[in-house]
Structures are given as structure tokens and as C-alpha cells.
Structure 1
């Protein structure tokens, strides 16, 4: 197999390996995985588990309530207890006993004044008249009760029963004493009897006997002097006194009904235990399980459909944002895979915290490091994606940590997650040291604590213990987030070849072994690399490229020169130029090899691929003009022309803005340094000539630099070079010419 065939096969193999990075199918698969992640992360809260269980069987698991339902039995018990506590209602009726006493005395006067009746006749009349008067009196009372409350038969019956059962029976011997009473005796007795009856009937009397026992005492203190008069007044008062307080069953039943209606339902809350492990399932418990759709015989597919649609909405929102984004993640499946992995880690952390959450320890949900995901996304991918992810994580938190079940989302956890996630994005945006992550964690703790205090005070249902626990968990969450991000950063940087700002700052440390080697063995190249770093960083930032990557990439772009330092003019000091004594082809091979040697050295030190790409691509496929024309000059007359391809760098051309900018800065720095006392016009002409030559040579065809950006880069390089060389610039016209060795330096 010849070399061309091997290169072709290697190219196809490389394409197959790298094709997944931009494959639409892989991209859709990753978004589908995100949808599955959302579905299964929320399924435990939104889709109840079902059990194969029968009444009378022993439960093999402890089963918890998945939603809040009314406990009908306990509610009924509470209602009956409330009704039982209601005391019987009594009605106090105006009995008008004074009118009865007046009627009695009127009859006594009338009958005693009738001289045609004998004493025995009068006694017989009295035996009949007194019950009749009592019957007439109670009959009128019943009529008035029926008229005032026709539907209250219970009260009427209660009154009838009480008046009948408590009617006073006048002793037989008293009837023989009534005829002896004179008109004067009756006139003296009547006011006393009225007064006694009135005073005793002012009290509430469910039982008349208690009042009748007090009659003798009141009569004996009256102005009556005759014993017979006192005795008759006592008997008449006892006869007239009746109960006036009667149990009103209708009113009692009404108040008990109101008490039952006013009793709050007893609920089985979400998370309450329905049946313990090893406990027998009663009929009542079985009905509750059926009500909550926890039985396999009654599968409810609506929650699954709802969760599928919700997960789809989450994925669709993220997909549309990524699709409209100008970030490279819209076409780079490697970054999308990293995003999916960050989501997996963040949601896993949230679920782990949720395992310890229950009704007694609901506040532990505040400990979840929700902001870990947004902080990693902000550092490794970009701020816009981090903001969108903050919203998604907030929605997920409000569902995952919602254990009350009254509503789908618990706004407290959603609000906290949104606050800490957005805080993490703003706090980490200019992080350039690991300590910056810790400071961001402290900011997360502070803002999260403020959010929790605000929600707690607004809820107005809290205890000092709850406040302290919520505050402590929130503060701990911020610190835990920082620790996890610091621990996970190296994993993502190594696994995905990510050059985060923190990693780039570490690589720019002069104590790095390769930079120490560059400084000690090739001080000229080291100084050249530092200058290129300054130029490329300024140029990159002017067009929105990664300036820090350009700076660090510039530090390592010529590391391959340490293999043969003396063959590069910046390291020759006072020694002669070795290229003056060797063939142009050999010189070309040595010069070209520094890019390949640099990539190999960077690989040996496990340097990230973007740094290796800059070292490999900063020359692209440019022509080594000095050695090419030298070879043509040394070529015998009539020989076949030397093709330019033999004196070009092997490439590849710059694949990114950063590689192209470093290449421009490399050529500009070498060219301007070769000028003796450069003027402003010389610098501007040199910069634009180098950019134009590379543009005409097709060196920018494989990166996305625009002509407008190239013009901006030229202006920025001019300004930066003017700052570097201002003390040595002479403004007169061009003076010096390039020496023969300058082309080697530009190489």
C-alpha cells in the first residue's frame, strides 16, 4: 500500500470518527436523551407507583399517599364529635302565670260569694274548676306555640309533656279550706300570690319542683298574718308555678347540623403513610389506594401523557434557543453532549437531596446545589445557555421538591433556584482563578439566604427553628455548589478538551515546564511569543474572538523551536546563521518541522487540542519565500522549475479565528521587529501587506474571518504596535532595507 492510499484511508477513518460531532441524527438523539432525563427525573413526583394488592393481604412495602385526599371516615368522626359537643338548646317561653293566678282568685271570690251553694257543693266545684282552669291555660299556651312556630312539633310535644308531668296536685284537704276564705282574706292573699309567682317565674325553670320548694319561704316573709291565708297562698302558688324552660330539639338539631357543616375536612396529605410494611390492608385502606390510583388494576395513563408533554416542552424550548444561538453549540455535538452530561449531574444532585426530604424535613430541599449546573454551563459553554438553563432548573426544582401536593409547582423552591442560578451566572462570568468559584459560591449563599428569608416572612407561617434551618441549608448549598464545581471542572476540561478561562490562566503560568523550557533554551523565541500573545489578544478581543486563548496559544505556538533553537534567527544572538552553510531544502525542512515538533511536544504534555491546533495551524500553508527564491537562484540553468508546494508549510490552514489571528500576529511581530526605527506608515503598510498576502494566498478560506474583521484586526495591531514601539519610531520616510536573514525570522 503506497503512502497516498494510506493517507486516503486515514482521512476516511478520521471523517467517520469526527462525523458524529456534526451529525443531525446524533444531535436529535442527545435532545431525546434530555427529554428522557426530564421525564424520569419528574416521574417520581408526578406519576404514582402502582401496587398489586388485595384487601386482607399483608403489604410488602410501606405505601405513601401521592396526593392530598379527604379522609372520609376521620372527617365523619370529627363532625360527630363537633355535634356531640353542642349542648341541647332550650327555649324560654313567656308563661303568663300571673293571669292564671288572677283567674283563680276571681273564681274563688265568685264561688265563695254564692250563698246558694253549701260548703260541700263549693268543695266539689273547686275540685272541678281548678283542673279546668289549668287545662284552659295550657290549651291557650299550646295554641300560641303552634302559631309562632308551626313546624316545631318537637317543642310543642316537649311543653305538653313537661306541663302534664309536672302539674301540681292540690291536696284534698285544701279544697275544704277554700270556702272558709272571706273576701277580705282573698283581697289580702292575691297580691302576695302574684308577687311570689312573678318572682319565682322570672328564673329559668326546666323543673317546676325546684321553684315550688321556695314558695313557703317567700310566703312566710309576706305581710300575711293568718296561717290559713299563708297556707292557701302557698298551695295556689305551687299550683300556678310551671316550668318555662323546654328542650328545643329542632334548634338543637339545627345547631348540631351547623357544627357538622362547619367542621373542616380531615385530609390525608401527600407523603402520609397509607399502609406500613407488614400491615394488613383493610377495606378502608384499599379504597384509599383505589382513590389515589395506586392499584395496578386501575392504571391512569393521563399523568404519563402530561409528563411526556411537559418534558417535550422543556426540550423544545432548549432546542429552539440552541438553534437560534450564535454559539458553536448549535452545530457542535461535543458541546451538546457536555451540556447533557451537566444536566444529568445537576439533576442527579437534586434527586439525591430529595431522597432525604419528607414532611418533617421539607427544608432540606434548600440544600440542593441547583446552581452547580448553571455555573458549569457558564464557564464551559456560555452565558446565554446558562440563563436558559437557570429557568429550566428552577421549574425542575419546584416540582422535585414539592411534597405538599396541593399544586404542581412549589414556588418557594422554584424562586430560590432561579435566584441562585442567575446569581451564579453573573458571579462567575469573569472567573479567572479557582478562588473565583469559591467567591461565587459565597454570593450564591447570600442571595439565596435573602430569597428564603423573604419567602418565609411573606408566608407568615414560620417558627424560629424553621428560619434557622432554611437559612443554614441555603448557605450550605452555595458552599457545596462551589466545592462541586471546583471538583468537576478538571473532569470536563480533560474529557472534552475544554479550555476554560481558569484552565487557560493556569497554562499561562511561566512556571509551566514547557514555558520554562522555552525561556531557558530559546529566550529570543520566548520574548517573541510573549509579544505575539499581546498582539493576538488585543486583535481577538476587537472582533469578539477568545483573546485569552490567543494569548496562551501564542505562548506555546513556537515551542517546537526548542528542538533546534540555533536555526531560528531570534535565538542566534551573536553567532552566525547556520542556514548560510546548508542547502535551502534542508533549511526548509528544519523551519517547517518546528510546527510538527511543537504539536508532538504539546501532545506529550497533554495540552488541550485548541492550543495544539494553534501551534499546528498558525503558519497554515504559507510559502517560505526566502528559501524558495534561494533554491531557485541556486538551481542550474535549464533545470525543471521547483514547485512552490515543496517550500510551503504542510498546514492545515487556520480552522478558527484564534489560529488565524495568532498567525497574523506572528508574522506581523517578526516583520515589524526586523524594521530599524519603524515609522507609523511603515508599521501600517507592513501589517496590511501581511494580512493581504495571507488573504490572497487563501490562508483564511477555512476559518470564518470576514473582511470587516480583518480590517478591524489591522487597526488594532497598528494601535498595539504603536504602543510597543513608540519610543523608537522615527517619522521620516522609509530608511532601512531588509537583510538576507529576515525571511528566516519571518518563517
Structure 2
């Protein structure tokens, strides 16, 4: 069968799993909830920085009986200064005036209505003439009823009585429209100013006011000098009328009286809105805070207690009260619970072959907790060390912050679960570590960047010695980061302090590596994880288990070495870990050490299967898988390697014994089913298991060939891959046809190199039977 023609599209083999893992069952959900709740409560109590403060009750003038030291950094409110700022803000709040821009129009309309009514009453036209064309009506000659009505009309203009003299003037003029227009113009000029009443004194001490247009609703700030008092406006109107040549000298007092009577304030003080403005200004005043630093001596023994001392003592006592700490712990528990819930939710989307979801969550949360506990313990030691020094900067514990093993967790996760897990881990770890130490933004950046660099340097560490190299590089980067942060803080240059801090930061890299090196084997055993470091150790050919296989089953050992070479090349071709597959190949047939003589590669002329029944032979072949699993677990091999022992056989048919049984059954006339002659499985679940299955079969089959040319080897490889695929052995793993094609030619390249040709030795023909050696003389 020409497999190269079939393998064209990178289509997933049937049965390839899709999407994320299966949903959790009830038991797993309960375990996860218990873990989250308990861890939230523990971390909350652990991270909440509770400081208990006790001090005697003093009165002003008392003598302090002992030193009183502030137990923690705190911000307290200076109430007196805050009240002073609020009073100042209230005093500086601008008054609000409601401005009516349409008031002059209302007054003009009122004047026009009064003139129209008066002319109608007197029977006059807009020119001041009656219907007969006569002019010259006099108020005194009018009937009493008409006079009364005219007085009533004039009173609507808000002109104070007596008004008879004014009516004499207007009646004589005939209430003409010309007079009406002149009066309206004068009113308009008078209303153009922001006129306030005489009792409005609120803006005299202000530079500006808030002016609210009641028509548009727009609020604007204008100079207080734009406000005008009625007396000022009346004086300006009087001057304007006195300079107007259209009015006779005798008429001007009457005109002035009408205009002044109709001038009303168009800007009124709004007391309610002014109070609201004042209250808003007061609300916008920030509290005046005083910073009390941890370790500051508020009061020394023998000093007299003052008001400020009492103020600071009471403020610290309130902040560090037990009730506040309990509430803080509960609130922190909720926040951490939310954070951890989000964390385990995102872990759900990380797919790792060696990890189940719950095991991965357990590992990450345990690492998170251990790292935080390690930080707290290290900080306690650093505080004690700093207090033993007298000189600065060695007695300044802030420098010891840079010695702490912040990158321990991310480095450990990188080794055991990979970079992606570590990147997710540091997002949540940095938040909790920052909260634990109450660090500022610079400290948070240090924690974050050291974790990121720890991932970068640890990702290529494949041996124990590589951990030391990663720690050295991390220390150098941490020292450089410390100097950069010191420069960013704009701290004054100090070579002693800078060198001391940089040295501690450098040591932190080695401290992180030291903790990782000591705890890595423990985590490997607890979670049964296969790391590059562990694989390198398992690949040591001097291990007792491998030495035993060399001695008991030399043929199987050589077979395992050859399979490992095939798997290593195939793993590189499809992007898998070649070291893992090479090491797994060493142990895949470890069960054959129990009954080595029953496997053809270890036999010498005699085949024990000829002396036993077919079914017993099948049981022995199945038994080597069971024994292999038992031995692997006894030697604490990683689960990922143990899983490949049964999967590299899958449910394949033991064809030799099946055919033998068929022949035996044909003689007796019976029928043989295939299932009893198949391995128990499971089928390969991963690409690594599929590659090991193929390499195992191809290596064994290649030994049967007489012609080991490339063409013959390719036919053999394609035949075995085709038969295995058609047998459904790859229905439960995610290998694609495109990857199978690359694996085919990788196997071909490896086998061609393995069965390479040699130049014939002159004078020797090794293909002919050799003559027996002459007997040796004694």
C-alpha cells in the first residue's frame, strides 16, 4: 500500500479528543470548594497584617510611664486642619444669582398693554388723535369713571401713587406710540445691566459670582463687578433722559418717573443654590492626613503628655482595634476567594499530558501557599538580622526585601508544569505577595519582573547543575533591576547603600535556586511528575534497574536502545519531547526481566513456547505488561512513563499465536476468536504512546529483513503503520496523518543509518560459512 499518497492532509485521526477536559463530577467539585474556602481563610488570616497596640490611658499633663512606639505605618486624619480647610472652602464658595434675560421684554409688553388700553379708553389712535381728528384731551376734564380706570391701568406699571400729575402728562400727549417706543428703548437700556436689589450684599466681598440663566439653564461664572444696584441704574437713566433732546424739559421728570418705576431687578440672589454650592465645596475638600511611620516614638518615658500625643495615640488605638482586624480578615477572605476562583477557572483551560485538572490545581495552590509562607519566614529572619546591625544601611530592613525568594514559585512551576502555567501563576502570586508586604508600585514591579526573568532562565534548565546557572543569571538580573528601581525612585546616589542592595538582590537568585533544588524532588514524588531533570536521571544507564535488564535480558535491552533511537528522531519530527520518549523506551519492556527466556530476542536456540500451550504463551506475553507496570510503580517511575507500558501494545493482536491457534483449531474443527489473543490495552492515548507503539513494532520487524535497502525499509514501515491504523489503535489519540507522514520518514532515516553498509574487508568473505578454528595447543 502506498501510504505516501494517502498522507496528504493534516486531518486528525478518528477519535481525536476535542475541546477541553470532561466536566468535574460531584466529588471533585466538593474537593475543589473545600480547597478554595480553606485556602482563602488561611491566606486571609496570614496576609492580613494585624498589629495590636496597647498604651495606658493618659490625660494632658501626665508623665509618660514608658515609651510608646507606633506598631505599623498608618495615615490618620487631622480633624482640626480638615475643619479649617472646610470653613475656608465654604467662605470661598461663589454666590448664585438667577438671571432673567426676558424680564425687559415682559416690562415692555406691560407698558405696551397699558398704552393700548389707555388709548382705547380715550378713543385715541396710535398717533394720539380721536376718531374725529381732535387732540388735546386733558385729564382733569375726563369723567370720574374714566379717571379711575386710567389710574388703575397706570398702577399695573408698578408706579407708586399719586399718579394724577403723570396722567395729566400722558393724557395731554395722547399716549402716542412714539412715546411708547421711547419708553421701551429706555427700559431696554436699563435692563441690559445685571440689576440686583438694594438689600443684596452677598457679592460685595467676592471677585466672581455664579450666574444662572433661568431660560437656558446655563451656569456661568462672571465678575461680581458686573452687578449693578438700582440707585446706580436710576442715576444712569436720569442722565440718559436729561441728554435726550426728544423730551421737553418739563416732560423729563415724568418720563424718568415712568422708567424708574418699571425698573426691576433681573438678577436675584438664590440662597438655596448658594448653600448647595457651599456644601459641594465642603464635600470636595480632602481630609488632611498625617502619616505615622512604623517605629516612630510618639512619646518617651518621662515626657509630659500633650494634646498632639493623645491625638496620635487614640488614632493608632482605633486603627489597630480587634474589631477592625476581624472585619479586615473577613473582607480579605472574600477577595482572596474571588481571586482563587478566577485562578482555578483559568487553570481549566491549560491542557498538560502529565497533569489532571485537580492535581494541577492542588500543585499550583500548594506552591502558592508554600511560597508565601517561605516569604514570611524569610522576612522574619531578615528583620532579625537587620536589627543586629548598628550601622546604616545594614540595619535598614527595606534593603533585605530584595533578598526574599519571590521567584521560587514561578521557577518551580516552570520546571514541573511549563511556562504557560508559570505565567498564569505569577499573575495571582504577585497580587498576593504585594498585599502580604504592603509594597508600593516599585516593589510590585520588582516582584513581577524577577518572576518573569525566573521563568525565562529556568525554562532551559534540564539538569541539576542547570538550576545553579539559572539562579546565577537571575541574581545578576535582580541586581540590575534593583539599581534601575533606585534610579527611578530618584533616590540620592549612595554607593554603600546601592552596593549593599544590589548584593542582596544578587543573592536572591541563589536563594531561589537553593529552595527550588531542595523542594523539587519532593514535589516530583508527591505529584508524580516527569521533569527534564528527572528524565536525565532516569536515562542513566548505571541505574540498578537498567543494569539488571542488561544482564538478564540483553536482547531486550538492545531492542529498547534501538526503539529509543527511533522514538527520539520521530519526537523531534512532530515537536514532542525527544528526551522523554528516549527514556520511556528504556523502560517500556521492563516486564520481560521476569521471564526473559520466553521472548525471542533473549532466546538461544531453544524456544520454551514449543513446550507449552498456545493460551499459556498468550498469558505470558500479556503478563510481561502487568509485570512491567508492577516493577515501574515499585521503582516509583513517573506515571507518564508507567502509562506507556500498556499503551505501547494497545489492543494489538498477537498474530503469531493467533495463527498458531487457528491451525490447531482447524485440526479439531473449532473456531478461534481474535479478542482472547489481543493485548488488554488501553490503546495509545497520546502521540508519544503512538510513536512508541510504531517504533516497537518496526524495530522488531526490521530485524527479520534480509534486504535492508531504503526501499525495502520504507515498504516495511508503511505496511506496519497502515496495518496499525486500520486496526484502530490510534482512534483515541490526537495524531494526524501529516504527523504520521513525518514519523514515517524519520523512522526511515534512523533505520537506514542503523543498518548502514560497510566496505568489504579484502581477503574475507563473511557471507560464506567460516571454517572451524584449529584446536589450540595446551
For the criterion TM > 0.5, the same-fold answer is: yes
Residue 653 (1) aligns with residue 683 (2): yes
- For residues 425 and 717 of structure 2, the distance between their equivalents in structure 1, rounded to whole angstroms, comes to 43
Aligned to 1:338: 363
Q: 1:367 and 2:367 equivalent?
A: no
Contact 1:322/1:329 (8 A) holds in 2: no
8 Å CA contact retained: 1:394, 1:415:
no
Equivalent residue, structure 1, for 2:443: 413
Q: Is 1:323 aligned to residue 348 of structure 2? A: yes
CA shift digits 1:417-462 (9 cap, x unpaired): 2232222212121222101001111011100001111222342335
Whole-angstrom CA distance in 2 between matches of 1:396 and 1:315: 10
Q: 2:417 aligns with which of 374, 381, 388?
A: 381
Structure 1 residues 593 and 299: alpha-carbon distance in aligned structure 2, compared to 1, 3 A threshold:
closer
Q: Could you give the per-residue CA deviations for residues 618-676 of structure 1, whole angstroms, max 9, x where no partner exists?
A: 21221111111111112254543122222222223333332332122111111122212
Distance in 2 of aligned mates of 1:560 and 1:391: 45
Work out which of the two has the higher radius of gyration on C-alpha atoms and give 1 or 2.
Answer: 1
2:381 is the counterpart of 1:350: no
Alpha carbons of structure 1 residues 21 and 306: separation in structure 2 relative to 1, 3 Å: closer
Asked if structure 1 preserves the Cα contact closer than 8 Å seen for 2:411 and 2:455, the reply is: yes
Partner of residue 688 from structure 1, selected from 697, 706, 718 = 718
* Residue 291 of structure 1 pairs with residue 315 of structure 2: yes
- Cα distance in 2, alignment partners of residues 474 and 464 from structure 1: 15
- Which range moves more in the overlay, 430-439 or 684-693? 684-693
Provide the C-alpha distance between the structure 2 equivalents of 1:300 and 1:494, rounded to a whole number of angstroms. Answer: 39
Distance 1:296 1:369, change over 3 A: closer
CA distance in 2, matches of 1:601, 1:334: 24
Aligned runs of 1:691-702 on 2, under 5 Å?
691-702=721-732
Going from structure 1 to structure 2, the CA distance change for 1:454 and 1:411 (only over 3 Å counts) comes to same
Give 1:453's aligned residue.
483
Secondary structure of the corresponding residue to residue 64 of structure 1 = coil
Q: 2:592 aligns with which of 558, 561, 564?
A: 561
CA contact (8 A) 1:54 1:286 kept: no
The offset of 1:543, in angstroms, is: 3.1
Residues 586 and 637 of structure 1: is their aligned pair in 2 closer, same or farther, counting only changes over 3 Å?
same
Shift of 1:364: 1.0
Provide the rounded CA distance (Å) in 1 between the counterparts of 2:720 and 2:307.
89
Structure 1 stretch displaced more, 55-64 or 21-30: 55-64
Indicate if the aligned counterparts of 2:683 and 2:729 stay in contact, CA closer than 8 A. Answer: yes
Of 507, 527, 536, which residue of structure 1 is paired with 2:567? 536
Q: Which residue of 2 aligns with 1:26?
A: 31
Deviations 1:208-228 (A, max 9, x none): xxxxxxxxxxxxxxxxxxxxx
Distance 1:328 1:614, change over 3 A: closer
1:229 — aligned with what? none
C-alpha displacement of 1:345? 1.1
Match of 1:511 among 542, 562, 566: 542
After superposition, what is the alpha-carbon deviation per residue over 1:89-142, rounded to whole angstroms, capped at 9, x for unaligned? xxxxxxxxxxxxxxxxxxxxxxxxxxxxxxxxxxxxxxxxxxxxxxxxxxxxxx
Contact 2:70 2:293 in 1 (8 A): no
Q: How far apart, CA to CA, are the structure 1 residues paired with 2:379 and 2:302?
A: 26
| 1:67 equivalent in structure 2 | 74
For each residue in 1:688-724, what CA deviation from the matched residue of structure 2 results, as whole angstroms up to 9, or x when unmatched?
A: 3323333333323343334444344334323333333
Cα distance in 2 for partners of 1:481, 1:280 equals: 50
The 1:460/1:59 distance shift into structure 2, 3 A limit, reads closer
Task: Call closer, same or farther: CA 1:281–1:446 in 2, change over 3 Å.
Answer: same
Paired with 1:329 and 1:560, the residues of 2 have a C-alpha distance of: 23
Q: 1:301 to 1:59 in 2, by over 3 A?
A: farther
1:568-583 maps to which residues of 2 (within 5 A)? 568-573=599-604, 575-583=605-613
Residues of 1 paired with 2:353 and 2:657: CA distance?
A: 40
Structure 1 unaligned regions, length at least 5: 1-17, 75-263, 403-408, 730-747
CA deviation after TM superposition for structure 1 residue 533, in Å? 1.0
TM-score (norm: length of structure 1): 0.61
Cα distance in 2 for residues equivalent to 1:510 and 1:33: 45
- Separation in 1, partners of 2:340, 2:302: 42
Distance across 1 between alignment mates of 2:570 and 2:301:
69
Separation (CA, whole Å) in 2 of partners of 1:283 and 1:55: 13
Cα pair 1:53 1:295 within 8 Å, conserved: no
Please identify, of 271-280 and 333-342, the stretch whose mean Cα deviation from structure 2 is larger.
Answer: 271-280
The answer on whether the counterparts of 2:347 and 2:361 sit within 8 Å (CA) in structure 1 is: no
Q: Quick one: distance in 2 between partners of 1:524 and 1:280?
A: 94
Of 311, 315, 327, which aligns to 2:336?
311
For 2:404 and 2:675, locate their aligned partners in 1 and report how far apart those are by CA, in whole Å: 60
For 2:420, what is the secondary structure of its paired residue? helix
Match of 1:717 among 743, 747, 765: 747
Distance, in Å, in 1 between the alignment partners of 2:747 and 2:539 is 22
CA contact (8 A) 2:76 2:289 kept: no
C-alpha distance in 2 between matches for 1:347 and 1:533: 42
Distance 1:62 1:291, change over 3 A: closer
Would you say the 8 A contact 2:44–2:330 is kept in 1? no
For residues 320 and 625 of structure 2, what CA distance do their matches in structure 1 show? 69
Alignment match of 1:586 (pick from 610, 613, 616): 616
1:3-402 equivalences in 2 (<5 Å): 23-32=28-37, 35-36=40-41, 39-44=44-49, 48-49=50-51, 55-56=57-58, 64-69=71-76, 267-272=291-296, 287-292=311-316, 293-294=318-319, 296=321, 299=324, 307=332, 311=336, 314-315=339-340, 318-319=343-344, 321-327=346-352, 332-355=357-380, 356-357=382-383, 360-402=396-438
In 2, Cα distance between equivalents of 1:277 and 1:635:
106
Report if aligned partners of 1:616, 1:652 keep a CA contact under 8 Å in 2. yes
Q: Is the 8 A contact 1:654 1:703 kept in 2?
A: yes
Distance of 2:299 and 2:576 partners within structure 1 = 62
Deviations 1:258-316 (A, max 9, x none): xxxxxx99852245466899999997656435535425487489866874675356436
Structure-1 separation of matches of 2:541 and 2:360: 30
Q: C-alpha separation between the residues in 2 aligned to 1:559 and 1:435?
A: 29
Task: Tell me the distance in 1 between the aligned counterparts of 2:52 and 2:353.
Answer: 45
* Unaligned segments of structure 2, at least 5 residues: 1-22, 60-64, 82-287, 387-394, 760-778
CA distance in 1, matches of 2:689, 2:66: 67
- Give, in angstroms, the shift of residue 324 of structure 1: 3.5
Go from structure 1 to structure 2 and tell me whether the alpha carbon gap of 1:53 and 1:724 turns closer, same or farther (over 3 Å shift): same
1:477 maps to which residue?
508
**What SS does structure 2 have at the residue aligned with 1:674?**
coil
Structure 1 residues 297 and 658, CA gap change in structure 2 (3 angstroms): closer
Aligned residues: 514
* Equivalent runs, 1:616-695 vs 2, <5 Å: 616-635=646-665, 637=667, 639-695=669-725
How far apart in 2 are the matches of 1:52 and 1:308?
Answer: 26
Task: Please say if residues 41 and 351 of structure 1, whose CA atoms lie closer than 8 Å, have aligned partners that are also in contact.
Answer: no
Indicate the residue corresponding to 1:220 in structure 2. Answer: none
Partner of 1:168: none
Closer, same or farther: CA 635–50 of 1 in aligned 2, 3 Å: same
What SS does the aligned partner of 1:592 have?
helix
Preserved CA contact (<8 Å) 1:672 1:683: yes
Aligned to 2:283: none
For the residue of structure 1 that corresponds to 2:731, the secondary structure is coil
